[in-house]
Structure 1
Amino acid sequence: MNEITYSKVGIDINKHKEIVSKIWKLIVSTWKKSEFCKPIDVKGHYAGIIDVGLKNSYLAMHVDGVGTKMIIARLMNDFRTVGLDCVGMCANDLICVGARPIAMIDYIGGRELNSKVVQDIISGLVKGCEIAEMALVGGETATMPDVLNEYDLVGMVVGVVDRSKIITGEKMKVGDVVIGLESSGLHSNGYTLARKVLFSKYKVHDFVEELGKTMGEELLIPTKIYVKPVLEIIKNCEVHGLANITGGAFSKLMRVGERAGVGFLLDTMPELPKIFKLIQEKGNISDRELYRTFNCGIGFCVVVPEDETKKVVNISERYGIRAKRIGKVVKEKDVKIKTSTGVISILI
């Protein structure tokens, strides 16, 4: 069986990066248009940051969505948890610059809007906002039968970050350690590839012995929201870098690595959770493709000096999130992962 890759199922990460690179000049051209808003240049980071004249703080903003996980919700006729995913996708990125989320708005689009579906989605958003301790302050709904065949869910989160405490990754040093916080499953990334592989072998309601649940139940497990433990880690530890492991998986570490001119060796990754083993086995997916597409059991990374390791792990575990040292910062500008078959580079 030929290997299935993300690009073969229509998701070309290189093309995405190329597009962002081309539009950046257009984005920057707007920066002098407002006398009340001065953007801070953190190109390529997890959130946009602006100076709106607050005495001690900047505003941080991030927008994201749930993607094709919404297809699973429709197949299962269960939209109760996708709101949690939306909050997780937005808030987990926002905290990567050291910001505290304060408010969120949402967008729900669909071929048609069913009242119960919308209510279930909003209920999930409310639960997620409660976990992240922020307010849901409004949103938008759109019915577009000529455009959408599935529901689409997007959120935008605003937060505040102390002017002197923005975390960009610039302080990272060779020898710093990478602490990985466990994920709850696929979170909300890699679903196009996961569906291609898994639905060629299973139906959404099939009970999968290895997982102990139906395939649909596994794929709907909501994204873990890391806001509380990470903000406490920032408050109590010397944090040099933060990375939410989403689209692009562990290649995302270079968002912060590039700012310090360093790379990463992940040499003590945890054993692959069962769902990722299943995807790799059924799709004949290489280690390289797996670790640059899926979180593989680690949903968030914290980079700190080695002597802060125990403190970070203890804080995370107080919130019921297992954490462990998974690697270190190295001189070579790459992301390498030690697997059972050797050390691989996963940069795209």
Structure 2
Amino acid sequence: MRYLSRWFLIVLATISITAFAQKPVVSLKETIEQIYKPYGLNTDPVSIYDTGENRIVSKRLAAVLQTDSELTAPGDGGALDNDPLCGCEDYDKLVVDNIQLLDENTQTATAIVRVRPSANNPQTNTISLSFVNENGRWLIDDIMNDDQSVYQLVVKSNHEQQEMLDGLQRPLPGDFIRNLFTSDDANALSWTLLLAPTSRKIVDSFSDMTADISPKDQEKNALPDIWNSNPLCGCDDPTTATLKDVQTKAESGGRTRVHARFTLANGAEKTQDIDLVNLGGRWLIDDYIDPQKGSLIQQLARIVITESHSQAH
């Protein structure tokens, strides 16, 4: 009997602790007001792409947004062409006209928010926000704007992008490179999406470093222009080049080097070495080796390191 009483108390305590943990500390309305407050102050709001401690979206939505980021070239906008929280590209002292709370329980909730992106403009946008309670916090699980689900939109975009990338793959490294020279899908995608993770990180760092530098100043400082031409061919569109020969030169240290010889549309003959790695059965580009300039990734890495040191001092 004493054992049963003790067991009952343990179960009761567990249920009470669980129930307490599930209750959000900040109310749903306060959460929404906190999300929109920076918009009204013309300061930087927390992005739905933010993965830090200030994350405002659920794990489910964060996962598809992270994939969208990985499938988006530096400087591009990704699947979303505006900020879905305001239904706008720009805002000026945004005003929240009304917050209507619907279907709220301890685990999920829905809210309708009507906003004016510009305080001096009467135009309003109506946003539907779905929330879930994760660890005592209300987090956005989906955003509906003009009857379009952000979650579904991003999932669809990710699927289409991934299908295009998968379609470029070939069993042999030489055939993979041939496909990059001839496929319209390869030209439609940013070349950065074909990079191995370590190389992509270096390119992203270089992009962040040069984001506020004008093209004129980049040229003045002899910074490589990696956005107006594809390093595969040193031209705008590899499909305009005539591929003459592709050879697998060497395989070592998990890398496969492929040598390509081609003629550009202007008649100039060029060669290029491409270092590939196979990760999970997928060929990814680890580096471009120009016969005159050498390794592109090493060149970018040196610039990033030099700039980081100069900023530190």
Q: What TM-score bracket applies, with the shorter chain setting the length?
A: under 0.3
TM-score computed with the length of structure 2 as normaliser:
0.25
Higher-RCO chain (CA-CA 8 Å, sequence separation at least 6): 1
Larger helix fraction of residues: 2
